[in-house]
Amino acid sequence: MNGLKTSIYFLAHYIDFVLSAGISVVIFLLIALSFRLEIVSINPGPIIILLIVWINTAVSFAFAISTLFDNGRNSLIGTFIMLFMSIVISLSSASIWNNEPPNAFFLWPPFALYTAVSIINSRAISLAAPALTAQTIGTEPKLVAAIAYLSVEWVVFFLLSIYGAV
């Protein structure tokens, strides 16, 4: 830790990871805009809100998971395995519930993210309903629930990671 207090070291890493993920999101948005993907080109507000919340939740989640392992290598492998399994389970459950899962499904952060992205994307390409905007996010209760769960999980995992590091 190079002589830094634990809290300063922790904060520096958190800021570094959030900035790195933020740069990735900006690159994603620019590429999506250049290819005119509907999820971004029609109205980027909902996806930007979701990605900002997700970046912080993902970093807090990764910190909390890292406290369960004794070294960084095992933590990285464990995180990749959990996220891969989350993708498989989320894709399977999306076909079962048709983007209307029970709210308890959102207790696992990747499930909330994948469901929210699916809802935003389906509204962006739908001919029956207008695309979501930052002002009309409230018209989709499952999207609001997913973002709310991610926001609460951001705080919970952050506190768990602080507790696990101490």
List per-residue pLDDT tens for the chain, 166 residues long: 678 787 888 889 899 999 999 999 999 999 999 999 888 888 899 999 999 999 999 999 988 888 888 887 887 888 888 889 998 998 888 888 887 899 999 999 999 999 999 999 888 888 888 889 889 999 999 999 999 999 999 999 999 988 876 6
> Does 123 reside within a domain?
yes
> Is 160 inside any structural domain?
yes
Q: Radius of gyration of the chain from Cα atoms? A: 17
Query: In the prediction, which pLDDT does 116 show?
Result: 94
Tell me whether residue 108 is in a domain: yes
Please report whether residue 56 resides in a domain.
yes
Residue 159 lies in a domain: yes
Residue 47: its pLDDT value, please?
94
pLDDT at site 1: 66
How many structural domains comprise the chain? 1
Q: Are 124 and 147 in contact (CB under 8 A)?
A: no
> First and final CA of the chain: distance in angstroms?
14
| Sign, CA torsion 67/49/149/113 | negative
Structure tokens at 123: 């509204």
Check residue 85 and give left, alpha or beta (phi > 0: left; psi -120 to 50: alpha).
alpha
Q: Domain span at residue 70? A: 6-165
| φ, ψ of residue 3 in degrees (nearest 5) | 80, 5
Does 1 fall in a domain? no
